[in-house]
Structure 1
Amino acid sequence: MRIRTAGVVAAFALALAASGCGGGSDEPAAKESPNAAGGKLVIWADDKRTAALKPFAEKFGQDNGVTVEVQAVSKDLQTNFVTASQQGSGPDVVVGAHDWIGNLVQNGAIDPVQLAAEQKSAFNETAIKAVTFNGQLYGVPYAMENLALIRNTELAPEAPKTIEDLVAAGKKLKAEKKASEILCLQSGQNGDAYHIYPLYTSGGGYLFGTTANGDYDPKDLGVGKPESIEAFKKIAALGEKGEGALKRSITAENSIATFTGKKCAYLVSGPWAIADAKKANISYDISPVPGFAGGKEAQPFVGVQAFYVAAKGKNKALAQEFVANYVTTPELAVALYNAEPRPPALTAALDQVKGSDPDLAKFQEAGKNGQVLPAIPAMATIWDPFGKAQAAIIGGADPAKTITAAGKTISGQIK
């Protein structure tokens, strides 16, 4: 793999000259510049991505005459990064979800990324949109993800056209004692806005409206509006006091295991569930999450994983070079895909892997009309009140009163 190193050397030479550290002939300055600027690039990522990144990081270090450290941060990566950034002890590059961007920008933790138009066009358009905030590109995307309906084809050979079709088929399987649950869609006692979102949109609900340029508008909150009440009335009908398809006993911890244990034929989940399905030897297929009969199309959130340049990193020029000219190579994107199979955001990488993984195209189809998960800071106010309202409604609480109260809580927290 070859990368452009001239940009790094030039950037460091400029930085040295500006700080009065440069001297002598140009050549020694160019060779010494990375070391003079610290000579180390520190990258933070989660456990899975750390393992995939290490060999590529080492190669980048060799090519540029610097040391590269990839450090695993197992828990609360975003929070730890913001705290470390404020203390001046953070990394140069961090890997994380695109919906962190609003919070990271608000906290002055990341810088915009410089990509040429040609480089941008090599990525999936939705992925680029997801990492663009206030008109600026803040990350280099590498993977995309969205929910789909994963079904056990031995129990459910046909993909249901509507959620009502799914419920009818699931109830029949329960009556025949072939399954103990109608649907595995995680909620738990605190709800799960991410997983219920396709049904919420099909019922007509929305979280935020959009401005004239298509950005999410925190001033236009949909939670608590008549559309959200109608959506939650439909969700309530699927709940514990209704059809029994949505249950608080289905949680983040047990939803996939209930599916792989053949206790339910239908699972609403993402690419991360497939490894467990394969391990359990489940015959499965993937299709879009079905919406309500006569309702709007069910739209899952589309999420993107990306690389960010830390605003307070010690080696910012090197970090920019790494994310702009190294992360954008198919080799690294394919390695990250192999570490955890999610559709690569880089078109060339997707083309390389999709032939051997038919699931990728199916997940992409399921997310084709999805909505980019809002990255605005106001999104942080949604999760807890919305999720708790959802769980209460699934348990039998009044939809109108419950979601109206959640809307008031959220609007009170939006700054």
Structure 2
Amino acid sequence: MRIRTAGVVAVFALALAASGCGGDSDEPATKESAKAAGGKLVIWADDKRTAALKPFAEKFGQENGVTVEVQAVSKDLQTNFVTASQQGSGPDVVVGAHDWIGNMVQNGAIDPVQLTADQKGAFNETAVKAVTFNGQLYGVPYAMENLALIRNTALAPEAPKTIEDLVATGKKLKAEKKASEILCLQSGQNGDAYHIYPLYTSAGGYLFGTAANGDYDPTDLGVGKPESIEAFKKIGALGEKGEGALKRSITPENSIATFTGKKCAFLVSGPWAVADVKKANIAYDITPVPGFAGGKEAQPFVGVQAFYVASKGKNKALAQEFVANYVTRPDLAVALYQAEPRPPALTAALDQVKGSDPDLAKFTEAGKNGQVLPAIPAMAAIWDPFGKAEAAVIGGADPAKTITAAGKTIAGQIK
């Protein structure tokens, strides 16, 4: 979840009309039905998860008398999966982010998954909520992620209580020639809605309202509303013509490297940044992203990685068996954590690894009041216009005009 791109929007532009999806069940697929299906199970995942999955996939294959192939798709996994699904050449199982769900359901690419009440109860409640769409469970979650503030404790021993405190410390370090940047929060020329979101919420902005059942309501768009204008005014004040804390020169490609190069004391990032920070031998701590003084609490997005059953897979019974009775195992969840350390969604797995990794508890704490990243199809309309508005305002554009125009663009795409 390091950055969202317009690529997701392109997928939506090609979206088919929503197709019918299978019903939910409180009983998992049985091994007998899976074995009877025979044949081959094909799983698509990214490079890191492919390596972790292979030994478990092989064991599953041996126990069920089938062939299991774990195939690495290193680029545009969601796009390639939706396209392959429409062409009838996709996998049986795909591994990816929960905010893909709206798009994949709209394209008729995934089925609801079948877990018992006990199996659901073994997972973090927020993780289950994230993979629930239109009242149905569409994925088995295995990891969670959210942004936090990673701090170089040699440069900044104390955690800032507010963004204003952070800016003051960053300015002092610059004046003392101990740092060249106040804050490493990625924007680039196209902005980054995911990374700016904690500050946007602290300043009172919102993306979508919620319906009575708690689901996001695409008809209540917050972008362009007075709350978003006030939020963008505060974001603009931190920009290049204001405090200089937010800069377009801090990009997805260089934000972590700028921090590990000791050019800034503060980095807003997620668990994926920790390996590079450790490799650079930087003394660090992890705390929640601070909000504006007198403002609301900064709320990062909470994202979930999950396993999905392809609706057009050739071996759906086997796929249901794999996600229901293998992905729910703590040993697999721990192996996936070891492949890329993100907090496991399975409570038993988190309990196993958190004792040896204090960062997990710190990231969990930083995200405990976060907002589940919207998985509704309308979310695809947000990323590009919102990000570009953010970058423009950071560069000095008028906040009210810029975010109002972005809101109109987004509303037009949703309709």
Please state which band the TM-score falls in when normalised by the shorter chain.
over 0.9
CA distance in 2, matches of 1:103, 1:15: 8
Change (3 A) 1:380 1:62: same
Which residue is 2:99 aligned to? 99
Equivalent pair of 2:334/2:344 in contact (CA under 8 Å): yes
CA distance in 1, matches of 2:25, 2:244: 76
Change (3 A) 1:49 1:410: same
Equivalent pair of 1:170/1:182 in contact (CA under 8 Å): yes
Change (3 A) 1:118 1:405: same
CA distance in 2, matches of 1:20, 1:152: 51
Describe the superposition over 1:353-394 as per-residue Cα deviations: whole angstroms up to 9, x where unpaired: 000000000000000000000000000000000000000000
Change (3 A) 1:26 1:375: closer
CA distance in 2, matches of 1:24, 1:252: 39
Change (3 A) 1:11 1:27: farther
Equivalent pair of 2:207/2:223 in contact (CA under 8 Å): yes
Which residue is 1:173 aligned to? 173
Cα displacement (A) at 1:39: 1.1
CA distance in 2, matches of 1:87, 1:55: 29
Change (3 A) 1:10 1:321: farther
Cα displacement (A) at 1:30: 12
Equivalent pair of 1:153/1:283 in contact (CA under 8 Å): yes
CA distance in 2, matches of 1:178, 1:84: 51
TM normalised by structure 1 equals: 0.92
Cα displacement (A) at 1:16: 31
SS at match of 2:95: strand
CA distance in 2, matches of 1:8, 1:231: 25
Change (3 A) 1:318 1:392: same
> How do 1:361-380 and structure 2 match up within 5 A?
361-380=361-380
Equivalent pair of 2:344/2:350 in contact (CA under 8 Å): yes
CA distance in 1, matches of 2:241, 2:2: 61
SS at match of 1:341: coil
Change (3 A) 1:16 1:213: closer
Change (3 A) 1:184 1:28: closer
| % same residue | 92
CA distance in 2, matches of 1:399, 1:19: 40
Equivalent pair of 2:21/2:111 in contact (CA under 8 Å): no
TM normalised by structure 2 equals: 0.92
Aligned alpha-carbon RMSD (Å): 8.3
CA distance in 1, matches of 2:403, 2:29: 62
Cα displacement (A) at 1:38: 5.1
Equivalent pair of 1:236/1:242 in contact (CA under 8 Å): yes
Deviates more, 1:19-28 or 1:252-261: 19-28
Equivalent pair of 1:5/1:64 in contact (CA under 8 Å): no
Equivalent pair of 1:40/1:68 in contact (CA under 8 Å): yes
CA distance in 1, matches of 2:51, 2:198: 33
Change (3 A) 1:290 1:66: same
CA distance in 2, matches of 1:29, 1:368: 33
SS at match of 1:362: helix
CA distance in 1, matches of 2:386, 2:3: 46
SS at match of 2:213: coil
Equivalent pair of 2:35/2:318 in contact (CA under 8 Å): no
Equivalent pair of 2:22/2:111 in contact (CA under 8 Å): no
Change (3 A) 1:183 1:304: same
Change (3 A) 1:137 1:24: closer
Describe the superposition over 1:38-67 as per-residue Cα deviations: whole angstroms up to 9, x where unpaired: 510000000000000000000000010000
CA distance in 2, matches of 1:237, 1:63: 60
Change (3 A) 1:6 1:189: closer
Change (3 A) 1:395 1:25: closer
Describe the superposition over 1:71-123 as per-residue Cα deviations: whole angstroms up to 9, x where unpaired: 00011000100000001000000000000000000000000001111010100
Equivalent pair of 1:12/1:30 in contact (CA under 8 Å): no
Q: Which residues of structure 2 form unaligned runs of 5+?
A: none
Describe the superposition over 1:326-355 as per-residue Cα deviations: whole angstroms up to 9, x where unpaired: 100000000000000000000000000000
SS at match of 1:352: helix
Equivalent pair of 1:8/1:317 in contact (CA under 8 Å): no
Cα displacement (A) at 1:37: 3.6
Describe the superposition over 1:286-308 as per-residue Cα deviations: whole angstroms up to 9, x where unpaired: 00000000000000000000000
CA distance in 1, matches of 2:376, 2:168: 38
Change (3 A) 1:24 1:318: closer
Equivalent pair of 2:28/2:320 in contact (CA under 8 Å): no
CA distance in 2, matches of 1:322, 1:4: 29
Equivalent pair of 1:140/1:324 in contact (CA under 8 Å): yes
Larger radius of gyration: 1
Equivalent pair of 1:247/1:395 in contact (CA under 8 Å): yes
Change (3 A) 1:13 1:29: farther
Change (3 A) 1:31 1:76: closer
